[in-house]
Structure 1
C-alpha cells in the first residue's frame, strides 16, 4: 500500500460532507491534485474542485473508481444502487483498493446482501460529521468490514487526519450516527441560544458567539482529556448556594435533558 500522502482519493458524490472530508485532508497536507470527484452537477463540480485547490473533476464514475486507491461513496442513500452497482467490478478488481461508505443507513451487510458490491471488495462503512473539515471531526466506523490488516491500518491513519475514529458494533451504528452526525445541529442550537442570552444582557453578537463556542470547545476538550464523568465536572462548577447551580436547576425545570433525548429519539424513530 502507498503512503498516505501518495494515495489517490476519489469521491463518488461531492456534496457538503464529501467536500468537508476533502477540505480536512487538504488541511492535513494531502495534495488536491491527488483527489478526484464526480457529481451529478458537472458545472458546480468543476467550480467547487477549482476553489478547493485543484481537485480533479471527472464525469465518468468508472474512471474515478479505476484511478482511485481509496473511494468515498458519498451519494444520497436513494441513489446508492443506481450509482454504485455498475462500478462493482472495478471496485473489486484491485486487491488494494479501499471503499469507504459515508451513506446513511447502509451498513456492511446491506451492500453485499443487495448485490451492490461484489464479495471480495474491501469495504468499511462509516458516519462522519462536518467538523472533519477542520480536522476536529468524528468518524464512527462499523466494526464489521472486509479490509485487510494493512488496509485497516491505512484507513485508520487516513481518517485520523480528520479527527477521532471510533469503531462500534453494527447494531449501534444508527444511534451513533445520530449522535455524531445530527448532534452538531443540536449543539449549534445551544450555542445560538446561549449567545442570544448574552446579547440580551448587552454582549455584542459576534463576541457572544466567540465566547460560547470557545467555552464549549474548551469544556469538551477537558472532558476528553480528563475522562471525567460530565456530572462530576458539573458538580465542580456548582458551589453550594451559588449562581451556577441556580442556572442548572432552571435548565432542569425547563426539561433540557428530556428535550435532548427526545431529539435523538425523533431521528432514530423517523
Structure 2
C-alpha cells in the first residue's frame, strides 16, 4: 500500500480525516497523497501542512493517481464527475459521499469500477467506523487493496445497499451525539468542582474504555449497565433519571430525524 497514489476530489473534513489517518498509521506514504478542491489557495495550505500534493482540478488529479476518492458534496457529484466519465473508467473509485450508492454511480459512470462507503471522523486516528456497501464494481484485486486501506482507518462494516444510509448515519453522525454527551457529563463534573480539562479527560476515557470493554467482551450493553447498578445504589438512581428524561428515545429520534 505504501507505493499507491491516492487522490481526493474534494478535501473537506472527511477527506482530511482519511488522509490524516493514512499518514498517522503509515499505511500510505504522504508523498502518495493528492487532492484537488474548488478553493485552490486554501487547498495548497492544507496540503502543504501535511506534505501532500495539491492539484488545480479533478482532471489532472485523476491522471496522476491510482485510486480516486470522491469526497465532494453529494449535490456536486454529477456536475464534477459527469464530464470526467471516460477518465474515471480507467481508475478505481472510492466514494465517501452520502446518498451515492452503487446504483447511482452506475447511472452516472457506467462501466466504471467503484465502491461506496460512509466513514466517520475518528478515521483520523485509525479508530473510525467505515460503512461499506456490499454491492460494488471493483475488480477483486482492487477490492482487496481498498479493503486493506480502509482497514488501516478503523473498523469496516459491510451492509446491503438499502442499509448504507442508516449505517452511515449512525457511524457518521454519532460522533457529534457522543461529543454532546462528553460535553454534558463534563459540565456536570464542573458543576461539582472538577476542572474542565480534567472533566473532559475523565469522561472521554470513560466512554473509550466502556466501548473497548464491550468490543472485547461482546457483552450486551444492557448487561454492562446492570453490572454497575447495585440494588438501591447510586447508579440505578442515575439510570432512572435518564429514563425519565427520555435518553434512549432522544437518540432514536435523532436517527429518525436524519433518515426520515
Instruction: Judge same fold: TM > 0.5, yes or no.
Output: yes
Report the CA distance between 1:230 and its aligned residue. Answer: 0.2
Distance 1:195 1:152 in 2: 42
Question: Is 1:160 the counterpart of 2:160 in the alignment?
Answer: no
SS class of match (1:213): helix
1:107 matched residue in structure 2: 101
Q: CA RMSD in A?
A: 0.8
Equivalent pair of 2:37/2:57 in contact (CA under 8 Å):
no
Distance 2:81 2:166 in 1: 25
2:34 matched residue in structure 1: 36
Distance 1:169 1:224 in 2: 23
Deviations 1:214-252 (A, max 9, x none): 000000011011111100111111111111111101100
- The structure 1 residue matched to 2:172, chosen from 160, 172, 181, is 181
Distance 1:131 1:260 in 2: 20
TM-score w.r.t. structure 2 length? 0.98
Which stretch shows the higher mean deviation, 4-13 or 66-75?
A: 66-75
Equivalent pair of 1:89/1:118 in contact (CA under 8 Å):
no
Report the CA distance between 1:118 and its aligned residue. Answer: 2.5
Distance 2:244 2:134 in 1: 39
- The structure 2 residue matched to 1:228, chosen from 219, 224, 227, is 219
SS class of match (2:188): helix
SS class of match (2:109): coil
Report the CA distance between 1:60 and its aligned residue. Answer: 2.6
Which stretch shows the higher mean deviation, 207-216 or 78-87?
A: 78-87
1:20 matched residue in structure 2: 17
Distance 1:167 1:184 in 2: 20
Distance 1:265 1:229 in 2: 23
Distance 1:83 1:186 in 2: 32
Distance 1:199 1:182 in 2: 26
| Equivalences for residues 1-270 of structure 1 within 5 A | 4-29=1-26, 30-52=28-50, 54-93=51-90, 97-113=91-107, 116-119=108-111, 121-269=112-260
Report the CA distance between 1:85 and its aligned residue. Answer: 1.1
Equivalent pair of 2:70/2:97 in contact (CA under 8 Å):
yes
Give the gaps of 5 or more residues in structure 2.
none
Kindly report structure 1 stretches of 4+ aligned residues shifted beyond 4 Å: none
Number of residue pairs matched by the alignment = 259
SS class of match (1:140): strand
SS class of match (2:138): coil
Distance 1:77 1:135 in 2: 25
